[in-house]
Amino acid sequence: MRLKNLILIICSFLLIINTLQAEDKKVGEFFGAKNTHMPSWFLNSFLDLGEDIEDLASNNKRLILYIHQDNCPYCYKFITENLSDKTTKNKILKNFGIVEFNMFGDREIIDIDGEEYTEKEFAIKYKVQFTPTLIFFDEEGKQLLRLNGYINIKDFNLALDYIKDKKENSLSYKEYIRVKKNEKQNMTLIDEPDLFTKTRSFVRESDSKKMAIFFESTNCNECKTLHNKLLKDERTRALLKKMDVYQVDINSPKSIVTPSKLITKIKDWTSELNITHIPTVIFFDEKAQEIIRIESNFKNFHFQSIVDYAVSNAYKDEKEFQRYLTKRADDIREKGIDVNIWD
């Protein structure tokens, strides 16, 4: 009996200790998430995209597909700033119809080819990695332009003008942006000699590391934000040091050697890569296969998480970046560290 009582006392003691430890374990706070209500003037759709495109075309309008998720601060900013601008809203109402869906939702969507998907299946099919994502379609259901992530009001209006004026028949989007912004080519890029390795050959060898290529231009305000804020984060730079990191001026007339060992002009390579936003950062694996790209405005936590997603090989097990992002935030908070996704 004494032994039995002793065992009970020890077990009770251990239970109390574990309970106290669990209570003492601090979980980090989570900041920055913002939920958004969709504007009432969005298209009232049955989520049959082919039908929506046909109906809009009969009124000389084009379809914008707006893909979002819950608690997304970038979506909140897009709705409350970009779409609350009176000029922008009127331009959309006159020339477009917007259909929204949640990238993790369960509503049924009928794609242009007639195939049915849930919202989350559709997002996987279209490889949606960031929200908001906007996809512009023409009257025949052809995808004309895709914006992955938040862009500012000015650049968003340039995209609207490009599509509503049907400029795709005469100019690529990249050429259109260059003309509209009157980009100068006699300036230099922001130099980061301790980060970027200068090269004109992007061929991968058997012992090569992953690589990140920063595609920038000379008079780019968002490039300044990239360098003056995001790349100042010591954790981000430490992660980038694990890769080969290069910088490319998209307006340079020079030739380079692509990862596929072809000699070509930079402007032709950037067209082949379908670069439509400056800056764009593309992460490649050791065999020069694209892992993920950044082509919009991000805050520190998201930018660093994208780098970590590529460097840590997390992309091999988790194909959806947003799910990885949630897990990474949870793991950090479990260590008692606060996470602010809008810092």
Is-above-0.85 flag for pTM? yes
178-193: average pLDDT = 78
List domains and CATH numbers for the chain: 49-181 (3.40.30.10), 211-312 (3.40.30.10)
Question: Is residue 252's pLDDT more than 70?
Answer: yes
278 versus 14: the higher-pLDDT residue is 278
Q: What is the pLDDT of residues 20-79, one digit of tens each?
A: 444 456 899 999 999 999 999 999 999 999 999 999 999 999 999 999 999 999 999 999
Q: What percent of the chain has pLDDT over 90?
A: 85
What is the predicted pLDDT for the residue at 20? 45
Mean pLDDT, the chain, integer: 92
Q: Which residue blocks in the chain are alpha helix, DSSP H?
A: 2-24, 49-57, 73-77, 86-95, 119-125, 153-164, 173-181, 221-228, 234-240, 266-272, 300-311, 314-317, 321-334
Q: For residue range 205-219, what is the model confidence (pLDDT) as tens digits?
A: 999 999 999 999 988
Kindly provide the b/e burial profile for residues 223-248, where b requires at least 16 CB atoms within 10 angstroms of the residue's own CB.
Answer: beebbeebbebeebbebbeebbbbbb
Predicted confidence at residue 182, as pLDDT, reads 73
Residues in the chain: 343
Residue-wise pLDDT for 135-177, tens only, equals 999 999 999 999 999 999 999 999 999 999 999 999 999 889 9
pLDDT-wise least confident of 115-119, 217-221, 269-273: 217-221
Q: Residue 8: pLDDT band by 50, 70, 90 thresholds?
A: low
Task: Report d(CA 91, CA 79) in Å as an integer.
Answer: 15
In the numeric block, the tokens 């993920």 are attached to: 292
Does residue 306 surpass a pLDDT of 50? Answer: yes
For the segment 84-97, the average pLDDT, to the nearest whole number, is 98
